[in-house]
Amino acid sequence: MNDEGSTATGRRSPLAKVLSALPPGTQLVIGGTVLLGAASYAHLMAAGYSLSKPNMASVSLLWTILMSVGLGLFFPVEQELTRIVAARVVGGQGVAPVLRRILVLAGAMLGVLVVGMAVAVRPLADTFFDGRAGMVVALAAAFLTMAVGNVSRGVLAGLGRFGAYGTQLAVDGALRIALAVGCALGHVRSPLVFALILTVAPLISVLVTAGPLRSGVRSGPQVGWSSLTAGLAPLVCSTLLSQVVVNAAVVSTQLLAPDDAALVAGLLNAVVLARVPLFVFGSLQASLLAGLSSAAAAGDRAGFSKLLARTCATVTVLGVAGGIPATILGPWLIQVLFKADDVLGSLDFLWMSAGTLFYMLAMVLGQALLVLHRHRLQLLGWALGTVALIVITLVPGPIATRVCLAYTMGSLAAVICMLTAVWLTFLRKPPTVRPGAEEPSSPSLVDSA
């Protein structure tokens, strides 16, 4: 009898080959990621049909700022936790000391962010939310729950508990859908209510999966502050810049055309639609980083290279498969799904889809540089990408075309830089062995940074 996913001749189907190329446990996360991705559409669709254009623009900007600044600050925490916890698991060490210290770091970052928002509440409200201070408070609350969620998922991924990781994503997504649809059916017209969904749903999902996290956290040797902060600072800068590249279109349009609420809302809808492959790629990131970290910790150079190559091939397939229908149907779909105005064309969606493909490849290469302790080279890649984005955005021409093309060229610049860095520092020749390297680095694969 053939294995599941095999053909009648005993050869595996293309789908089975793709799935087998992914790190173990990825399939458990895909369902939750897909549901959470669908929740973004349901949330924005419900808001688009329930709110006026100015109110929808406020929700669009809050969503974009949360995805840019929040992920920029706290997703690096998840990445570092995943990397360090996975290496400790390979070494048979407990992770409780790591969790305690990363909570202190995340809390300090959150505190600085919230205090800054409190000081600038009025300018923020006037610039982005049509004078609504309550939206600034809702954004701060969403930052809090995002920080907690990223810490939780970083530990779960490092422990290899992808079932709980996927469950957290699925609960978050299901609640967002239920709450957003409920608000739409209840004829809610307040943007604040739709904004608070981004706080309530992820907070409940973290509580639901707290048990598996607690059971996996055991005492172990202390971790030095330098082991956490040395890589975290450049990684935070890298991730912030990467989020600028992927989310700049909406904010740039708000700054360039503050009175064009229809274009701001339409661009967010288009960004979300063109980024469908990113929602699937999100299910790869945690297990990819854990897989690369484990291979590095075990000194498995061949496994590291194979996993990196296969993941790049997989995201290329994802980008092409998502980009073709988005380019052809995107202008029509955003009008049907999100009640957007006719403000974008197929060429805009082509640039966005290409940008998404390049962005995913840059993220994969960035994960490799992270595991190899090349944080500064990853930062250099996103810095060059941000410069390219700014230059293209400032070139004269139609605003929609400029911001979409800027996304593409910024992502491509990051890919070229990071691919060159990976080739020069790892693929071209074996790195120098550094015996006795302190955890979490790998003496077999990582030389001195």
pLDDT in tens, 375-425: 789 899 999 999 999 999 999 888 888 999 999 999 999 999 999 998 887
Task: List the beta strands (DSSP E) in 151-275.
Answer: none
pLDDT in tens, 254-312: 788 877 878 877 887 788 788 778 777 766 666 666 677 777 767 777 777 788 888 88
Can you tell me which residue has the tokens 């001195």?
448
Residue 54: CB atoms within 10 A of its CB come to 15
Radius of gyration of the chain (CA): 21
pLDDT in tens, 35-65: 887 888 889 889 988 988 888 888 888 988 8
How far is it, in rounded angstroms, from Cα 14 to Cα 303?
21
pLDDT of amino acid 420: 92
Domain borders along the chain are 15-427
Buried b (16+ CB within 10 A) or exposed e, 254-276: beeeeebbbbbbbbbbbbbbbbb
Is residue 27 scored above 70 in pLDDT? no
Closest CA to 348 of 413, 261, 263, 255: 263
Can you tell me which residue has the tokens 């040797």?
221
Q: How far is CA 84 from CA 25, 296, 300, 384, 440, in A?
A: 18, 11, 17, 28, 5
Contact predicate 52/341, CB 8 Å: no
State pTM to two decimals: 0.72
Residue 302: CB atoms within 10 A of its CB come to 8
